[in-house]
Amino acid sequence: MRAFAVTRYGQPMTEIDAAEPVVGEDDVLIRVEAAGLNHIDERIRSGDFRQILPYRLPQVLGADVAGTVVRVGARVRDLQPGDAVFASPASARIGAFAERIAVRASEVAPRPASVDVVEAGSLPLVALTAWQALVERGRVQPGQRVLVHAGAGGVGTIAIQLAKHLGATVATTASAANADLVRSLGADVVIDYRSEDFGAILHDYDLVLDSLGGENLERSLRVLRPGGIAIGIAGPPDPAFARSQGLPLPVRLVIRVLSARIRRLARRLGVRYEFLFMRADGAQLREIAALVDAGVIRPIVDRVVDLDDVPSAVEGLGSGGGRGKRVVRVAG
């Protein structure tokens, strides 16, 4: 089948003739109709993640899928051929830039009925990231204050809407050109990152969702109230993440060193820092789909590309910009 894979780190992705996916007893085979593009695709291609995600090349990329169930494994009971579904497969089994993908049934959910397949394909990874940051880790409550960085991006557009639904006052950073968009999604405070310093404007926030890392993350710690939490999705990874992934001891030691500075600063300020690496979860996707169908969350699609354009589209992720998600139309 047609697929696009990393055959060598740092080089453009290549079209390959991939073997048909193996469908285990707990899996479903999905005919891919749309696949979201995510920054992790470019970070894998470039080799940035080779230590924590040690793939055997060639590796087909693509961590978001929306499509139709073709076949189910012998132990699958709640899904059947013909079902319209969406998923973000576990990191060991990514591969949505292809005509078909096998995914564990527990990671799959019926896709929202109120959006088209492209919009559904834009959602899984970013919506799960926002859910796990705000609901699972942050336990955001009504009246709390949440800062979402890069509010016009893929994670940001969903996180703003979810935080607002949870009852929080939401601040976000965005360009002036995207101010109206993020306000329409529920942002109460919009800070133009090009001309304003969020650190001088915000204080006593309960949670920061940071997708930028580096100096931006360090400055974010200072806007938190004592006991507040900064959740980083751009890094640095922390020791808890390394343990959860079962990484080799040398890699765990490197991660401990790389994250030492930000963890020390957090302790000194009386706040917490946690690294979040999205976990595949079909049950959470069902809850997200219900929110989409209720009109609480709407997907924001920046642009749609064809499967043939995957190599250039993935490399283009490194330049940033855009509003919401970019999506590959595979079939249908």
Calculate the average pLDDT of the chain. Answer: 95
| Same domain (yes/no): 178, 210 | yes
SS3 label, residue 319: helix
Q: Is residue 22 part of a domain?
A: yes
Residue 63 has pLDDT above 70, yes or no: yes
Residue 293 belongs to a domain: no
> What pLDDT shows up at residue 23?
97
113 shares a domain with 82: yes
For 176-191, the pLDDT digits (tens) are 999 999 999 999 999 9
Q: Does 59 map to a domain?
A: yes
pLDDT grade, residue 52 (50/70/90)?
confident
Residue type, 202: L
Does 106 have pLDDT greater than 70? yes
**In terms of residue numbers, what domain contains 65?**
2-123+299-329
Q: pLDDT at residue 171 above 80?
A: yes
213 and 74: one domain?
no
- Who has greater pLDDT, 95 or 50? 95
User: Does residue 50 lie within any of the structural domains?
Assistant: yes
| CA angle, residues 279, 332, 18, in degrees to nearest 5 | 60
- Nearest-CA neighbor of 99 among 20, 209, 207? 20
Residues 141 and 250 in one domain: yes
pLDDT digits (tens, 9 = 90+) for 120-132: 999 999 999 999 9
| Predicted pLDDT at 231 | 98
Do residues 76 and 30 share a domain?
yes
Take residue 314 and report the two structure tokens written for it. 């993935």
Q: How many domains does the chain have?
A: 2
pLDDT at 332: 62
In this structure, are residues 2 and 99 in contact, taking their beta carbons and an 8 Å threshold? yes
In this structure, are 11 and 99 located in the same domain? yes
Q: What is the DSSP letter of 42?
A: H
pLDDT at 216 > cutoff 70: yes
Whether residue 35 is found in the same domain as residue 119: yes
Do 88 and 177 sit in the same domain of this protein? no
Q: 158 with 189: CB under 8 angstroms?
A: no
